[in-house]
Chains A and B, each alone.
Chain A
Amino acid sequence: MQFHRVLMLAIAGVLALSGCQQPSGGATGREDAGVVNVYTARHYDADLRLYERFTELTGIRVNRIEGNADQLVARMQAEGEASPADVFVVSDAGALWRVQNAGLFQPIQSEALTTAIPANLRDPEGRWFGFTRRARVVAYDPAKVRPEEVDTYEEIASPRFRGRLCVRSADNPYNLSLVGALLEAWGTEKTTQWVEGIVANLARAPEGGDRDQIRAVGAGVCEIALTNTYYYVLLGAGDDAGDRALVERIKLAFPSLDGLGTHVNVSGGGVVAGAPNRENAIRLVEFLGSAEAQTMVAASNGEYPASPSVPVPPPVDAIADFTAHPMPVSAFGPRTAAALELMTAAGWR
């Protein structure tokens, strides 16, 4: 009967889908080296080549799920002890802290990683490590703005730029980490004043991503924009001729926080607590922190390597000459919720 047929079709379909996925799915590895399951909140294509390289070097297959960091956390918590996650990779220190706070990372001892990654870019107990860095800086139009007008974070919120600033929405992790860092450095009162200054300086209600903010500076909608460094690099290396021309015109300024350097965030990861393939997971995390991986990500995605000993590859080297603020990146995470409340209260949508 029709109903019967439909039901059989459904069951057959599920089996067929399972079957056809088996070779690339998480089944018991045919190779001796096994598998490693990665939950990643990074959504850049370049990472696929990274995992392929890892498989080339070690023979371990990489299974990955991409998603939003907190949705992946909720999923891991629902999966409980049966969770197949071995490695968790995210592109914001605040998210790293949230995963750690949920008890989902396990500490590992790794000579290679502790020597390669500076202490302020990793968890002191070895639960997670930053692999690459990005700075949150100002893109400006040199025809309208002099570089000395944007060399501190306070100046971005000053009346000089009333109605001339473009920035993305408040719930973006990069903004949250920046404000979290400011809370750490300045305390609540001064940070609230800064956020209110930002809101007063908005040229338009926040819309779009960082690249849109840079393009808005180019289109004359605003004079300055807050952006991550790698978006600028990616625009310059992208498919669109208009974007490349934009990067010729618009420059980056590296504002200083309290004279100590520019706010820096990391992308990183760690081994998941209760990982079923723990040894493979450690090898993957060590690979991601290795000089080769850092260079690959830096070259293809415009980020800076976390290790000071790894030379910055082109095209990022053009904007690599700056001082990074020494604040430990683990300080942002605990403050992101407070940061968002502060920002929403001030009207930063």
Chain B
Amino acid sequence: MAVAIAPLVGVAVAAIRGPWADIATAPFAGYALTSALLAVGVAGLSTVFGLTSAWLVATCRFPGSRVFEWLLVLPLAAPTFALAYGYADLFDVAGDLRMGLRQAAGFDLPVSMRSLPGAIFVLSLAFYPYVFLAVRDALLNRSAVAAEAARSLGASPGTVLWRVTLPMARPALAAGLALALMETLADYGAVSFLSVQTLTTGVVRAWSVYGSPASAALFGLPLIGTAAVLLAFERWSRSRRAYGVQATGWRDTPRPILSGWRAALATLACTTLFVAAFALPLGWLGWNALQATPEWPRLLHASGRVFGLGVVAAGLATALAAALALSGGDRPLLTRLAGLGYATPGAVMAIGLLVPAGLIWRNASGPTVMFATGLLMLIYAYAARLMAAALEPVSAALTRVRPAMGDAARTLGRSPLDVAWSVRAPMAKGGLLTAALIVFIDVVKELPATLILRPFNFDTLAVLADAYARDERIGQAAWPALMIVAVAVPACLWLTRRISRSRPGGDRP
């Protein structure tokens, strides 16, 4: 638990220690407002995207509905900056599309991707899968029992929808939104590329231009505070799901088959969403990539490293989350604190980690130690950041362990540690794998903490993509960005299958 909180303490220490720069407060208020507007915008738009698509896919059958179940989750495999590069380049005022339109049709799209609305659009497309997964899960889990009970009491199908089914999905919607918002607030890559000035970019600006890590840490504190609020909200909404279903007495709800124009509309809606969130920006990036010659040795090295990092970080984060979940059943506050890392921007986390890292670096020396420490710090940063994401499925899996099982083991003479090891941990196995996959996907996409903490000659794919993009070479940046997607997609598909399998409905296709 201390492990997860250390970076946050580091941030607080850095903030308090000073020296602060003489920054006027006016820009700070502006950044905070922009962050707030961004959050509100993304909340709204991702609700529209995620809720509609989850509803369609979970409650009806239409052509392609089974394919969309996993297709619509794929945007999670793409780093936000990849979507940002794709859309910014596609709609660039001097780009081929708009130049062509001007010449052919004589008018110009009044669209600027490099703006707050543009950022809201891109981030909503990137994060709606969180809402989609959560709501779909809730809707698929609903048992026919509740609906049948309502019908037997005389409710019409419409009333059943409005007063029984939707309220059961609402907590899931809240949980998915909380995750999406935490990611939005923490995002740096896409937001800075699109020239939108949020608190997160303000953190980096305070550090870079004013040279004041203390001021940067100070800016980061409201972000951590908001993360705390969001996390509390998410926990509250999950607890409200208690009026869901029991595992016994569960019956699958029949799914009506759409036909005619309804079916066509449903398919069209889902296709449009998938194209907008995945196929279009990444396809455009791919098109650009073909016009640039990639530097294969660097790319392959970076892929290997990022894959290795992902695996190791996933292992560590899962182990830590498991330790926390297994032992933290009666200490919810610590568990929540551990989850704060999720909405902490990577840059802020890295600032926080430089404090303990400095302690290690100052007391041990030698190049091997430096390298190992750099690597460990990086993995630690990932683990600390993603504890919340790892904690969620592990805790959820553990709720299935009934106290009676533990008590039975105790009566048979096992110690509490033994109980944790041999009874609860195996039951959490499924949750552990889900947690590991989530962490892996996030690590492969991560950028800011990697930039700051990595050891020598250690570039990941995200670092390469960022370097090329900052050098304004989108064609070159497209290669590592697309390779991140390639590495993350299998993990994403595996994750989707696991979540489907873990429903009470079990393994039915």
Residues of A within 8 A of B (CB): 1-3, 6-7, 9-10, 13-14, 16-18, 21-22, 24-28, 35, 37, 43-45, 63-71, 73-75, 77-84, 98, 102, 169, 171, 176, 204-212, 215-216, 218-219, 221, 231, 239-240, 242, 336-337, 340-341, 344-345, 349
Chain B nearest CB from A69 CB (Å) reads 7
Which has the most chain A C-beta neighbours within 10 Å: B322, B362, B472? Answer: B472
Tell me if A71 and B452 are in contact (CB < 8 A): yes
A7 contacts across to B, CB distance below 8 A:
315, 319
Query: For residues 193 through 221 of chain B, which have their beta carbon under 8 Å from a beta carbon of chain A?
Result: 194-195, 197, 204-205, 207-211, 213
Tell me if B208 and A69 are in contact (CB < 8 A): yes
Tell me if B21 and A337 are in contact (CB < 8 A): yes
Tell me if B94 and A221 are in contact (CB < 8 A): yes
Chain A nearest CB from B23 CB (Å) reads 8
* Additional A-B contact list (7), CB under 8 Å, known A74-B354, A79-B358, A82-B361: A25-B371, A25-B457, A27-B367, A44-B471, A68-B204, A75-B354, A340-B209
Q: Chain B 425-445 against A: per-residue CB contact (8 Å), 1 yes, 0 no? A: 110110010001000000000
Complex A-B: 28 CB contacts under 8 Å = A3-B322, A3-B421, A6-B319, A6-B322, A6-B436, A9-B315, A18-B371, A21-B458, A24-B457, A25-B455, A25-B457, A26-B456, A43-B471, A64-B456, A66-B459, A69-B208, A70-B211, A75-B453, A102-B211, A171-B209, A215-B92, A215-B93, A219-B99, A239-B293, A337-B21, A337-B211, A340-B210, A344-B27
A24 CA to B458 CA in the complex, in Å? Answer: 10
Tell me if A206 and B195 are in contact (CB < 8 A): yes
Chain B nearest CB from A262 CB (Å) reads 22
Chain A nearest CB from B43 CB (Å) reads 24
A217 CA to B316 CA in the complex, in Å? Answer: 51
- Judged by a CB distance under 8 angstroms, whether B291 is at the interface is yes
A74 CA to B372 CA in the complex, in Å? Answer: 19
Tell me if A212 and B94 are in contact (CB < 8 A): yes
Select which of B24, B112, B355, B429 is within 8 A of A207 by beta carbon: B112
Tell me if B94 and A216 are in contact (CB < 8 A): yes
Tell me if A219 and B312 are in contact (CB < 8 A): no
A166 CA to B375 CA in the complex, in Å? Answer: 42
Tell me if B361 and A240 are in contact (CB < 8 A): no
Residue of A nearest to B424 (CB): A3
Chain B nearest CB from A259 CB (Å) reads 31
A45-B295, A207-B114 known; A64 vs B457 contact (CB < 8 Å)? yes
Tell me if B432 and A2 are in contact (CB < 8 A): yes
Tell me if B211 and A13 are in contact (CB < 8 A): no
Select which of B96, B309, B354 is within 8 A of A17 by beta carbon: B309
A43-B471, A212-B94, A345-B24 known; A80 vs B456 contact (CB < 8 Å)? no
Tell me if A70 and B209 are in contact (CB < 8 A): yes
A25-B456, A65-B456, A67-B451 known; A6 vs B358 contact (CB < 8 Å)? no
A242 contacts across to B, CB distance below 8 A:
96
Chain B nearest CB from A195 CB (Å) reads 15
A337 CA to B209 CA in the complex, in Å? Answer: 7
A71 contacts across to B, CB distance below 8 A:
207-208, 350, 451-452
A75 CA to B26 CA in the complex, in Å? Answer: 29
Residue of B nearest to A37 (CB): B456
A2-B429, A71-B452, A169-B195 known; A21 vs B367 contact (CB < 8 Å)? no
Residue of A nearest to B323 (CB): A3
Tell me if A80 and B362 are in contact (CB < 8 A): yes
A9 CA to B456 CA in the complex, in Å? Answer: 24
Which 9 pairs from chain A and chain B are nearest by CB? A13-B312, A78-B358, A215-B94, A10-B315, A26-B367, A219-B94, A207-B114, A78-B354, A63-B456
Chain B nearest CB from A141 CB (Å) reads 13
Tell me if A336 and B209 are in contact (CB < 8 A): yes
Chain A nearest CB from B100 CB (Å) reads 11
- Judged by a CB distance under 8 angstroms, whether B164 is at the interface is no
Select which of A79, A208, A216, A336 is within 8 A of B195 by beta carbon: A208
A25 CA to B372 CA in the complex, in Å? Answer: 10
A206 contacts across to B, CB distance below 8 A:
195
A144 CA to B204 CA in the complex, in Å? Answer: 39
Tell me if A75 and B99 are in contact (CB < 8 A): no
Tell me if B371 and A67 are in contact (CB < 8 A): no
Query: For residues 86 through 109 of chain B, which have their beta carbon under 8 Å from a beta carbon of chain A?
Result: 88, 92-94, 96, 98-99
B209 contacts across to A, CB distance below 8 A:
70, 171, 176, 336-337, 340
A78 contacts across to B, CB distance below 8 A:
354-355, 357-358, 361
A-B pair number, CB within 8 angstroms: 206
B160 contacts across to A, CB distance below 8 A:
none
Which has the most chain B C-beta neighbours within 10 Å: A18, A21, A37, A212? Answer: A21
Residue of A nearest to B308 (CB): A17
B322 contacts across to A, CB distance below 8 A:
3, 6
Residue of B nearest to A65 (CB): B456
A37 contacts across to B, CB distance below 8 A:
456
Which has the most chain B C-beta neighbours within 10 Å: A84, A211, A240, A349? Answer: A84
A13-B312, A219-B94 known; A26 vs B371 contact (CB < 8 Å)? yes
Tell me if A13 and B315 are in contact (CB < 8 A): yes
A86 CA to B213 CA in the complex, in Å? Answer: 23
A230 CA to B355 CA in the complex, in Å? Answer: 38
A2-B425, A74-B354, A240-B291 known; A98 vs B452 contact (CB < 8 Å)? no
A14 CA to B312 CA in the complex, in Å? Answer: 7
A218 contacts across to B, CB distance below 8 A:
94
A68 CA to B326 CA in the complex, in Å? Answer: 40
- Judged by a CB distance under 8 angstroms, whether B422 is at the interface is yes
Select which of B208, B295, B358, B472 is within 8 A of A70 by beta carbon: B208
A68 CA to B192 CA in the complex, in Å? Answer: 14
Select which of A82, A171, A219 is within 8 A of B205 by beta carbon: A171
Chain A nearest CB from B36 CB (Å) reads 18
Tell me if A6 and B451 are in contact (CB < 8 A): no
Select which of B24, B93, B358 is within 8 A of A344 by beta carbon: B24
Chain B nearest CB from A274 CB (Å) reads 11
A73 CA to B452 CA in the complex, in Å? Answer: 10
- Judged by a CB distance under 8 angstroms, whether B493 is at the interface is no
A9-B315, A212-B472 known; A98 vs B114 contact (CB < 8 Å)? no
A6-B432, A79-B358, A211-B472 known; A70 vs B371 contact (CB < 8 Å)? no
B358 contacts across to A, CB distance below 8 A:
77-80
Query: For residues 343 through 373 of chain B, which have their beta carbon under 8 Å from a beta carbon of chain A?
Result: 350-351, 354-355, 357-358, 361-365, 367-368, 370-372
- Judged by a CB distance under 8 angstroms, whether B155 is at the interface is no
- Judged by a CB distance under 8 angstroms, whether B281 is at the interface is no
A13 CA to B22 CA in the complex, in Å? Answer: 44
Tell me if A14 and B375 are in contact (CB < 8 A): yes
- Judged by a CB distance under 8 angstroms, whether B318 is at the interface is yes
Residue of A nearest to B315 (CB): A10
Residue of A nearest to B326 (CB): A3
Chain A nearest CB from B285 CB (Å) reads 15
A68 contacts across to B, CB distance below 8 A:
204, 208, 451
Residue of B nearest to A24 (CB): B457
Chain B nearest CB from A28 CB (Å) reads 7
Tell me if A18 and B368 are in contact (CB < 8 A): yes
Select which of B27, B96, B319, B357 is within 8 A of A3 by beta carbon: B319
- Judged by a CB distance under 8 angstroms, whether B276 is at the interface is no
A143 CA to B295 CA in the complex, in Å? Answer: 39
Select which of A22, A26, A28, A77 is within 8 A of B370 by beta carbon: A26
A75 CA to B347 CA in the complex, in Å? Answer: 12
Select which of A64, A204, A341, A349 is within 8 A of B24 by beta carbon: A341
Select which of B114, B293, B471 is within 8 A of A208 by beta carbon: B114
- Judged by a CB distance under 8 angstroms, whether B497 is at the interface is no
Tell me if A1 and B426 are in contact (CB < 8 A): yes
Tell me if A239 and B456 are in contact (CB < 8 A): no
A240 CA to B89 CA in the complex, in Å? Answer: 13
